[in-house]
Amino acid sequence: MNAIYLDNNATTSLDPRVASVVNELMNERLANPASQHAFGRTARRILESAREEILELAGARTQGMASDQLLFTSGGTESNNLAIFGLAQQRPGTIVVSSIEHPSVLAAAQYLEQQGRDVLYLPCDSSGVIQLAPLTERIQHAPDSIALVSVMLANNETGVLQPIQQITHLCRPHAIPVHCDAVQAIGKIPLSFRDLDVDAMTITAHKLHGPVGVGALVLRHSAKIAPHHFGGFQQLGLRPGTESPILAAAFATSVSIAMAELTETNARMTRMRQKLEQSLMADLPNASILGIVSPRLPHTTSIAFPGIDRQALQLALDHAGIACSTGSACASGSSQPSHVLQAMGLPTDVIRGAVRFSLSRETTDEEIESARSIITQVVRRLAPRDS
């Protein structure tokens, strides 16, 4: 039996069309894009063309004096850290994050808290949507006390979409910077940097069939950040170091493919996700879909099997040929319960029995049908026997 990969929120496979771009460029004689000779200028053209293409596809402004910027990074974690530390250093006051953020945002906020900065953690309701009342109240009483708001566009565990435009509507009149982690959303749902009205947005290539090792922080033209790496002039000195034209071009190709196929892929993944959820609910009446009443990403589902240990279930499914996860890949080595599900206030047996399945455009109907059968069998085998 072929293994069924349902852990695409952790990473996706490299699209052959992207691999072809990488292979072609690796066989060329590319120099350092900062070099002034002809080889360097060629590398620079590839790099800047990729930067411009990603900005356009992400809905950023690329023309005129108010053009937005894109800083290439090593991935989502670095981009989130650069946004949190870089923006927070520009303004005193409170850092506002949600309680369901990715570990790369929460850990950065917690570090700043240890250094004496005030951090406000926005709560989350049982449907997986963050609550804006504490932010609204703070803005009404002391808008100048807020240094930065950082909230993800879509949660990586539940797939639940978050009210980013409501946040920017609250913050924009007071010039409060807003950062958005859009790693899981780009290429899965329609997305426009300018429509979101945020100041900074994190994206990365390996979540949409691009290579691991390259991400980006998109910045509004007026956004000011402080660098946290030093030693070079590249990327306006905000993220110095030699950029990779090959990774940049591969990133641009992966975004281009994802956007071109977005409508079809979105509909197909939504249909398959719903099929998996509905069939498992029919087979296993005790199962519950977390965040089901909220708008969600088309490819992500968090399903709880009360009475089943999530880690035992993940291992058993892995042995049976299905790859899934118990939460963020960045925290997969931890045996601690999901901070996202805890923030949702879910019952302990639900939290202990929840696993995440995430599809991609490569997932097939046949795989979904096989996964349904295998998951059902494994859950029934692990279910505690009545005494």
For 113-124, what is the mean pLDDT? Answer: 97
Classify strands 288-290 and 322-323 as parallel, antiparallel or unpaired: unpaired
pLDDT of residue 19: 98
**What does each C-alpha distance from 61 to 15, 245, 310 come to in angstroms?**
28, 22, 44
> pLDDT tens digit string along 157-192?
999 999 999 999 999 999 999 999 999 999 999 999
**In percent, how much of the chain has pLDDT > 70?**
97
Whether residues 254 and 290 share a domain: the answer is no
Please check the confidence at residue 292 and state whether its pLDDT lies above 70. Answer: yes
Answer yes or no: is 199 within a domain. Answer: yes
One domain for residues 108 and 167: yes
186: helix, coil or strand? strand
Name the pLDDT band for 240 (thresholds 50, 70, 90). confident
If asked whether residues 205 and 325 sit together in one domain, one would say no
Task: Let me know whether 249 and 303 are in one domain.
Answer: no
pLDDT (0 to 100) of residue 329: 55
Question: Is the predicted pLDDT of residue 387 greater than 80, yes or no?
Answer: no
Q: Same structural domain for residues 240 and 348?
A: no
Co-location of 110 and 256 in the same domain: yes
Note the pTM of the prediction, 2 decimals. Answer: 0.95
User: In the prediction, which pLDDT does 64 show?
Assistant: 86
pLDDT of residue 384: 83
Same domain, 321 and 239: no
Which are the catalytic amino acids? Answer: 330
User: What percentage of the chain has pLDDT greater than the value 90?
Assistant: 89
* Structural domain contains residue 372: yes
Any residues with CB less than 8 A from the CB of 100 and at least 6 apart, and which?
A: 124, 128, 130, 152, 155, 157, 339, 340, 343, 344
pLDDT band with cut points at 50, 70 and 90 for residue 330: low
- Domain that includes residue 167, residue range: 16-260
Residues 130 and 268 in one domain: no
Q: How confident is the model at residue 230 (pLDDT cuts 50, 70, 90)?
A: confident
Output the CA–CA distances (angstroms, integers) from residue 242 to 36, 54, 71, 233, 236, in the order listed: 14, 19, 12, 9, 12
Domain boundary residue, one of 260, 289, 313? 260
Is 82 domain-assigned?
yes
Q: Residue 236 — pLDDT band, cuts 50, 70, 90?
A: confident
**Could you tell me the sign of the dihedral formed by the alpha carbons of 224, 230, 235, 236, in that order?**
positive
- 58-93 pLDDT per residue, tens: 999 998 889 999 999 999 999 999 999 999 999 999
Our count of domains for the chain comes to 2
Q: Exposed, middle or buried by CB within 10 Å (0-12, 13-18, 19+), for 185? A: buried
Give 259 or 90, the one with higher predicted confidence: 259
Amino acid at 101: E
**Mean pLDDT value of segment 192-214:** 98
Per residue in 334-371, pLDDT (tens digit) is 568 999 999 999 999 999 999 999 999 999 999 999 99
pLDDT of residue 374: 98
249 and 179, same structural domain?
A: yes
pLDDT score at 1:
59
Domain co-membership, 123 together with 85: yes
* Per-residue confidence (pLDDT) for residue 242, from 0 to 100: 87
Which CATH number does the domain housing residue 375 bear? 3.90.1150.10
- Looking at per-residue pLDDT, the higher value among 239 and 298 belongs to 298
pLDDT at 101 over 50: yes
CA 161 to chain centre: 11
Question: How confident is residue 2, by pLDDT bands cut at 50, 70 and 90?
Answer: confident
Query: Does the residue 387 lie in any domain?
Result: no
Pairing of strands 94-98, 119-122: parallel
Same domain, 151 and 97: yes
Residues 240 and 294 in one domain: no
Question: Taking all residues of the chain, what is their mean pLDDT, rounded to a whole number?
Answer: 95
